[in-house]
Amino acid sequence: MYVSMKEMLWHACANKYAVMAINCTDMEQARAICYAAAAECAPVIIDISPRQMKAHATPEVMVPMIRAIAEPLDVPVALNLDHGGEYKDIVRCIKAGFSSVMVDASSYDFEENVRRVSQIVALAHAHGVSVEAELGHVGQAAAGDGRSADMYTNVEQAREFVERTGCDCLAVAIGTAHGAYPDDFVPHLDFDRLAELKEALKMPLVLHGGSGAGEENIRRVVELGINKINVCTDLFKHQRKAMHDKLNEQPSIDYMDIQMHGEQAATEYIRAYMRMIGSSNRYQFDFTGEDFD
């Protein structure tokens, strides 16, 4: 099923689990994401960022391909613009058929963030597209971001922000950062702040920078109310290592075969992650009674 994020994230919110949101750049990754979801009976979100759009993942090509893979499945699959900062990129994705968009105006001041998100919410909702926003700021791990409470989401501001914008889910800053952390570094997360945000907002919350955050941290944030976890760096590293190792093992391997090997490695990684965050076996359609008329 090809759907927006809204319903699946509210289901996750009500049932206290998280949905994996995975960055995707090609058909093999799209297949791995969707078929892992089907195998695990789990909802899933495919993320495509503006940078990935410019490099490989052209919206007008990716949307029909992903829809063709997702629509026959008995699990919900959403396609989301990740970190949409430019109005033209967001409009392009809505027109191309994305089912959800993120408008990231978190680097602006509070009022400008509200203005930009409200504008996109009005446009997206009119087309049946759900909207993710961010308050606080999730920076880059390589720059040492995520370690200062100055960037964290303020609870009272978050309450006002959601009321004024009407966004469908909110990405919060509690100590994670995008990209790869330095070796052996595991971020310290503000669990108390997350619990306060969940209590105040009572809505689906999003964790960006899930890669490298550590399994213990990930399990804990799900317990406290995170319902969408963005994963990019860890999956790409896992897939790259698997393909590199296979090439070393079989230097003459066919190009198609190495692609298939990478797809299988990605599928296995995604399935394990889904089990960790509690999204497996959330969508099992096993009707044992009489057929519907």
How far apart are alpha carbons 206 and 117 in whole angstroms? 16
How far apart are alpha carbons 239 and 262 in whole angstroms? 6
How far apart are alpha carbons 212 and 218 in whole angstroms? 10
Q: What is the dihedral of CA 60, 64, 65, 69, to 10 degrees?
A: 150
In order of 23, 51, 54, 57, 247, the CA distances from 15 in angstroms are 24, 33, 37, 33, 42
Instruction: Based on the residue annotation, tell me whether 82 is a catalytic residue of this protein.
Output: yes
In order of 108, 230, 237, the CA distances from 184 in angstroms are 32, 21, 16
CA angle 277, 282, 284 (to 5 degrees): 145
User: What would you report as the CA-atom Rg of the chain, rounded to the nearest whole angstrom?
Assistant: 19
Please list the alpha-helical segments (H only) found in the chain.
Answer: 5-15, 27-40, 50-55, 59-70, 87-96, 110-126, 155-165, 191-201, 215-224, 233-249, 255-277
How far apart are alpha carbons 259 and 137 in whole angstroms? 36
Please list the alpha-helical segments (H only) found in 83-154.
Answer: 87-96, 110-126
256 DSSP 8-state letter: H
How far apart are alpha carbons 250 and 197 in whole angstroms? 50
26, 74, 82, 145: the catalytic one is 82
* Active site amino acids: 82
